[in-house]
Amino acid sequence: MLPHDASTATKKICALAPIIPVLVVHDVAHARPLAEALVAGGLPVLEVTLRTEAALAVITEMAKVEGGVVGAGTLLTPDDVKRAKDAGATFGVSPGATDRLLTACEDAHLPTLPGAATATEAMRLLERGYDMMKFFPAEASGGAPALKSLASPLPQISFCPTGGVSMANARSYLSLPNVACAGGSWVAPDALVQAGDWASITELARAASQLSRDA
């Protein structure tokens, strides 16, 4: 997969909803009901981070949910890429980007959002052929004002900011011309997941799905 094709694919995924839930799931039994709750609330794109032992099994279960588009987050190594693809992930997300990781994603035909936090990192990815990226860690890297400052010199790049994005500040990101969507964990708080309160998670997802690009 060529980098340009990967970015074209991730742009289509990012256009499906304004928010991508960033999920840390510890129990595979929660996978399907959680995915069903989020999809029912209007958030079909799901990023399952590879931060728990259950993550790969969670991806496999969530991939069975009708209407869901399931990806793997926290891709760090080529082995992560292979295992995520084998588990059923249809896209990947990485906190940063290395040539080795990008090559593995391209070879596996796994569309990926590579992470960038600076103009130099973004330019290096653009030079390779990527124009859809993850801006991470968003708030710690200057938040919406930092992303806004990148829009003028690098208008050809679109971002999915993640890291510190919340219901309270999401609109400040979504209103920017270089933001395609944003990633956030607030739509699936661990307390609600552990309680199996899927109805409340659906309501949080519904509110997030209705976020507009009007600041």
3-state secondary structure of 174: helix
DSSP run (H or E) holding 57: helix 55-62
* Cα–Cα dist 172/188, whole Å: 21
Amino acid letter, 107: D
Name the catalytic one among 47, 61, 85, 106.
47
Alpha-carbon distances of 39 from 9, 61, 111, 189, rounded to whole Å? 20, 14, 21, 16
* Cα–Cα dist 121/166, whole Å: 25
Name the catalytic one among 61, 85, 106, 134.
134
* Cα–Cα dist 73/114, whole Å: 10
DSSP run (H or E) holding 149: helix 143-151
* Cα–Cα dist 117/135, whole Å: 6
Say whether 134 is catalytic: yes
Amino acid letter, 105: C
Alpha-carbon distances of 190 from 90, 156, 159, 185, 186, rounded to whole Å? 24, 36, 26, 9, 9
Q: Hey, which residues are catalytic here?
A: 47, 134
